[in-house]
Chain A
Amino acid sequence: MSRLWREGLPIRMMARGDLPAHFFWNNQAHHVLYISNRWRVQTGWWRFAIQRTYFKLVTQSDLVVVVYRDETVSRWFLAQVFD
């Protein structure tokens, strides 16, 4: 069963350059095996700017997740976990 966080769940992410490398969630460290997709959203500038870079990741622990980096606050968030 997948889980979705509409507002995003803040997470700690170790990045390699701009790319996610490993992150911490549910008291576990998850290493990124590969990035299967990447996309950007930049909109809402007239009210509350949304500037996010999304990544769909597969981890070494066999999780498929979507994370994003919020460029306005330079923080990482977990958006969705697929089972």
Chain B
Amino acid sequence: MAYIELHCHSHYSLLDGASSPTELVQRAAELGMPALALTDHDAVYGAPEFARAARDAGIKPIFGAELTLHDTSHLTLLVRDETGWRNLCALITAGRHNAPKGQARLPDDALLETHAAGLIALSGCRQGRIARSLLAGNRAAAEAHARWFRRLFGHDGFRIELHNHLLPDDRWLRHELIALASDLSIGCVATNNVHYAFRDQQRLQDVLSCIRQKLPLDEAHLRSNDEYALRSEADMIALFADCPEAVANTQRIAALCDFTLGERLQPLPLIETPPQMNADDYLRHLCSSGQLTPSEQHQLDHELDVIQQAGLSNYFLVVWDIVRFARERGILCQGRGSAANSFVAYRLQISPIHPLEHGLLFERFLSSERQAVPDIDIDFDAERREEVIQYVYGKYGHACAAMACTFSTFQAKAALRDAAKAFGLPLEIINHASASLDTYRARDVEHSVALRETLGDRLDDPVWTQVLELAAQLDGAPRHLGIHNGGMVIHAAPLSERVPTEPATMTDRYVTQWDKDGLEDLGMIKIDILGLRMLSVLADCEAIIREQAPDFSLSHLSFDDPAVYAMIRAADTVGVFQVESHAQMQVLPHLKPEIFNDLIVSISLIRPGPVQGDMVHPYLRRRDGTEPVTYLHSLLEPALRETLGVVLFQEQVLKVARDAAGFTPGQGELLRRALGSKNPEAAIARFLTPFIEGAAANGIDEATAQLIFDKLAAFGGYSFPKSHAAAFACIVYRSAWLKLNYPAAFAAALLNNQPMGFWSPSVIVNDAKRHGITVQGVDLNASAARCTADDAARSVRLGLNSVSGMGSTAALIVQKRSERPFRDLHDFYVRLPLSRRLIETVIASGAMDDWGISRRDLLWKLGEVAASAGDALPLRVESGPVVLPALTTDEALRMEVSAVGLSVEAHPLTRQRWRLKDRGYLSSVDLHHTPDAAVIRVVGLLVMHQAPPTAKGFHFLTLEDELGMMSVIVRPKIYARYRRVIRHAPLLVVRGKVQHEGNVVNLLADSFAGWKRKEEVRK
């Protein structure tokens, strides 16, 4: 006999389970269980992970859930077969749709009556109807419930569930349940209502309960002991000595559950095709219009063949239909990711990239050997993405279309705050501690240096020790459910036949209970309808340009303007898509892009992976000519010539495997996926022998073949899909072209679509000013709701939307103003129902400066206006004149920054420059002319601070002065010494050594200080 746990909660019982499905499976396997059930609250969130972990551990997964019935009682359900799974999903869906977000409750018992087939029911915990009735002293009701369940699920499908958590009345309850079961000839089964894998996770479970109940440990309702862990067979036999057959019955029940959560494509709704055409025919028809070259025709035939064999023609038509809808409405969109490898995607106008022109490989996207469903990801204008999502919902219905869910997991701040609240610590201390955290992952909280500095010895206190320990244990646990950023699942039949859905926070939004990884694991296809703000920027710019040139379209641009590449080579790329980051600006002057393909390389090269894999510098040295371009074997040259012998693209892994070792493209893709997996060494081991043998057949000796394989192993994991980079490079070029040719429109569009990009609005404005664009501040009577631009006049006007807290009020102001301009503060106040706080912010922004009254005076006057406007009589009460001190320029600047987030006035250092120069401080422009290794001092606003995990403790700062930006490198020891100053000083003084690397200049910092006006603090 083996005991099998049939009632088990993972951390997907959201804040009511302390272990992942994987941990539970591994513990069950250690305890010798041949099977395990997962029964989370009204959910199967964990089913994909559970299935995978059980397969890896060699135990049988039993799927189920603990359902909440309409009277809030609980019922444990286990799936016997496919029908049972469908019924379980339908029941969970009904319960979730019948309750507020995050809760579930079946609407009535009738649903249970019609969805009982294929399920085994266990009477549940103390919240089950039968136990509840007995505890309330109502045996008759308990009996009636038991009869009903037995009728519903059949004699074979219902059991009385027994527990023994060593609670004071457990023995009594168990005996009552056993007696009832005996009277009604219903079988009993022992479970442990598990909430964690190991006993010592009781503390974590208690903290989760506190988070869920929003109460501290002293007040929360907690389980009174640690008996809710997975138990061994010996333990359960001892605990159920009064009913041993209840333990044995677990195995009998497990044997009845024979459902496998298989991987299979969902049936998709059929796209309407012309008469006499099926989906295959229609797809071919759509792709075949116009003239094709012989190689294009060959590629098309090959791809259509593979697509048809995979049964995916209709899927392509579904995606084509969505893109067609968007284009008809002028919504900018383009495919990204591996779909750009497909010529069919190109012909359907899903992808902007002609794969043959860029040497892309279809098999990277789809092949007969690859056992994975392809995902097509499409970027849409972020402002208009909702129209596309609503189109999909409208066309397929909410029952058949849903977004993929996502799980928000505990990160450092949330974990620390929640754990500290559970311990009842004062809120001020919690706020102080969490604000000081400099780590992102919850598991690193215990080692946070910044936290230690903030709290000092207090951290050694037993309470804080426990807080940090438990905060770290929260790492990776799901906290709540969210919506994936665009993944939509479409199903021919109601989705709830395959996976439950539930309401999301947004109105009329429903999500599947599996996230994107779960959906992919189980073979379900989704379409990522993503919002890309840069597409909104491009759309806004097109609209502005079309006011003068109605036929203009960015799609007409060819990617070959030398001036655009010159600008990119100079790293003059603030605001330009993908190439504006600090890292990109460092590398672009070395890379010196001249053609479109160079942009593809730039996107693929400047990422943590290639940096970590030490690919960047070898590539740059070969490009510079300081290192010769070599190939481990001449057969590799065709695949690697474009990247000078370095493996940069995922497609190159396939090509090298093909050219060196005769792998089919499908086999190459399997190797590529293995290289990118979590445990690559284990995953690629099975490819080595075929690789060596294939290479030998091509005349490559074993030692060289091993070297080539090792190179693939070293770099392949960091490679990037060229197709994705190519699709993005289109946007890079177009955004760069706009910055070069319509800088005002580009700057205005960037400001209108914040938050986005790498740089703050302040940096965007200062960059525009350095390019000769006049940026005018917010003006109550001149600003539109959004920022506007005039490229002829080279000017940008900030919109009313730039004022903090303005939101949709901007449009209201514009509408009111169209009746007549605002005359004065009183006129503004009485015509608009705005809060006083917002009006103060509008005043502080300088929007009313045109009236010639100082902001301080206006703020004073606001009090009078508000008082007189509140009067019952229509009187304007004016008080006598009050003389207030004039605002200094600095005060006005600070006001504007607090209201708008930036200042259109001079940079804070403009007026200081003479003093700085006097004291020997250099500017950003001076840096370029300063000899290498010179020790200098600069002052600047800190506008960017990066500490990439791959940088081994180095920090990279970008400082901005009135003339440009400076790149500062900070070694770990220097950062540790000056961390406080760097994090808190608004203007930084940096002393360091100039480092020239080709056209790039950095400052290697020795020391930092905060700059104060009139005097500087010396360190």
Residues of B within 8 A of A41 (CB): 224-225
B225 touches A43 (CB 8 A): yes
Contact A43 B224 (CB under 8 A): yes
* Chain A positions 17-67 with a Cβ under 8 Å from a chain B Cβ: 37-43, 45-47, 53-54
Q: Are A38 and B166 in contact (CB under 8 A)?
A: yes
Q: Is the CB of B226 within 8 A of A46?
A: no
CA distance A45 to B218 in the complex (A): 11
Complex CA distance for A41 and B226, rounded to whole angstroms: 8
A4 to chain B, nearest CB (A): 15
Whether the pair B167, A39 counts as a contact (CB closer than 8 A) is: yes
B222 within 8 A of A: yes
What B residues does A37 contact at CB under 8 A?
168, 171-172
B203 within 8 A of A: yes
The answer to whether B168 touches A54, judged by C-beta atoms less than 8 angstroms apart, is: yes
Asked if B202 is at the interface of the complex by the 8 Å CB criterion, the answer is yes
* B residues 197-248 touching A (CB-CB < 8 Å): 202-203, 206, 217-218, 222, 224-227
A to B contact number (C-beta, < 8 Å): 35
B259 on the A face (CB < 8 A): no
CB-defined contacts of B168 to chain A, threshold 8 Å: 37, 39, 54
Residue B898 CB within 8 A of the other chain = no
CB contacts (< 8 Å) of B614 on chain A: these are: none
**A40: contacting residue among B206, B218, B225, B466, CB under 8 A:** B225
State in angstroms the CA–CA spacing of A47 and B423 once bound together: 9
Does B170 sit at the interface, judged by CB under 8 A? yes
From 446 to 472 in chain B, residues with beta carbon under 8 angstroms from any chain A beta carbon are: 463, 466
Contact (Cβ within 8 A) A46 B166: no
Please give me the residue from chain A that is nearest to B166 by CB atom: A40
A42 and B217 contact, CB distance less than 8 A: no
> How many interface residues does A have (CB within 8 Å)?
12
> Chain B residues with Cβ under 8 A from A42's Cβ?
202, 224-226
Q: Binding site of B, secondary structure by majority: helix, strand, loop or mixed?
A: loop
Quote the shortest CB–CB distance from A8 to chain B (angstroms).
16
Residues of A within 8 A of B225 (CB): 40-43
**Chain A hits for B206, CB < 8 A:** 43, 45-46
Question: B467 to nearest A CB, angstroms?
Answer: 9
Indicate whether A46 sits within 8 Å of B224 (C-beta atoms), given known contacts A39-B170, A54-B168: no
**In the complex, A43→B222 CA distance in Å?**
9
**Segment 153-192 of B: residues with Cβ below 8 Å from A:** 166-168, 170-172
| Complex alpha-carbon distance, A43 and B227, angstroms | 11
Contacts of A53 in B (CB 8 A): 166
Give A19 to B517 CA distance when docked, in angstroms. 50
Q: How distant is the Cα of A40 from the Cα of B463 in the complex, in angstroms?
A: 25
Q: Give the residue among B171, B172, B222 with the most A Cβ atoms within 10 A.
A: B171
A68 to B424, CA, bound (A): 30
User: What's the Cα separation between A39 and B168 when bound, in Å?
Assistant: 5
CB closest chain-B residue, reference A42: B225
* Chain B residues whose C-beta falls within 8 Å of the C-beta of A46 in the assembled complex: 203, 206, 217, 423, 463, 466
A57 to B622, CA, bound (A): 85
- Residue of A with least CB distance to B470: A46
Measured CB to CB, the closest approach of chain A to B168, in angstroms, equals: 5
Determine the residue in chain B with the shortest Cβ distance to A56: B168
- Alpha-carbon distance A8/B102, docked complex (angstroms): 43
Q: Which of B203, B222, B225, B466 has the most CB of A within 10 A?
A: B225
* Chain A residues in 8 Å Cβ range of B202: 42, 45
In the assembled complex, how far is the CB of residue A44 from the closest CB belonging to chain B, in whole angstroms? 9
B433 → chain A closest CB, angstroms: 18
The CA-CA distance from A39 to B203 in the complex, in Å, is 19
Say whether, besides A46-B217, A46-B466, A39 and B423 are in contact (CB < 8 Å).
no
Minimum C-beta distance from B193 to chain A (A): 15
The answer for the CA separation of A81 and B101 in the assembled complex, in Å, is 50
Which residue of chain B lies nearest to A44 when distances are taken between CB atoms in the complex? B217
Residues of chain B with a CB closer than 8 A to A38's CB:
166, 171
Nearest chain A CB to B223 CB, angstrom units: 8
Chain A contacts for B226, CB-based, 8 A:
42
CA distance A54 to B224 in the complex (A): 13
Nearest opposing residue in chain B for A53, CB measure: B166
- Distance between A10 CB and nearest chain B CB, rounded to angstroms: 22
Output the least CB separation between A71 and chain B (Å).
11
Distance in Å from the Cβ of A64 to the closest Cβ of chain B?
14
B203 touches A40 (CB 8 A): no
Minimum C-beta distance from A68 to chain B (A):
11
Q: Report A-chain residues with C-beta under 8 Å of the C-beta of B463.
A: 46
Q: Do A39 and B166 touch across chains, with their CB atoms under 8 A apart?
A: yes
The chain A residue with its CB closest to the CB of B226 is A42
- Cα–Cα distance between A40 and B203 once the two chains are bound (Å): 16
Bound complex: CA of A45 vs CA of B469, how far in Å?
14
Note all chain B residues with C-beta closer than 8 A to A54: 168
Some 20 contacts from A to B, beta carbons below 8 A apart, are A37-B168, A37-B171, A37-B172, A39-B167, A39-B168, A41-B224, A42-B202, A42-B226, A43-B206, A43-B222, A43-B224, A45-B202, A45-B203, A45-B206, A46-B217, A46-B423, A46-B463, A46-B466, A47-B218, A54-B168
Which of B's residues lie within 8 Å of A, judged by CB?
166-168, 170-172, 202-203, 206, 217-218, 222, 224-227, 423, 463, 466
List 7 tightest A-B contacts by C-beta distance, closest first: A42-B225, A40-B166, A40-B225, A39-B168, A39-B166, A46-B217, A42-B226
Further contacts, 20 of them, CB under 8 A, given A37-B172, A42-B224, A45-B202? A37-B171, A38-B166, A38-B171, A39-B166, A39-B167, A39-B170, A40-B166, A40-B224, A42-B202, A42-B225, A43-B206, A43-B222, A43-B224, A43-B225, A45-B203, A46-B203, A46-B463, A46-B466, A47-B218, A54-B168
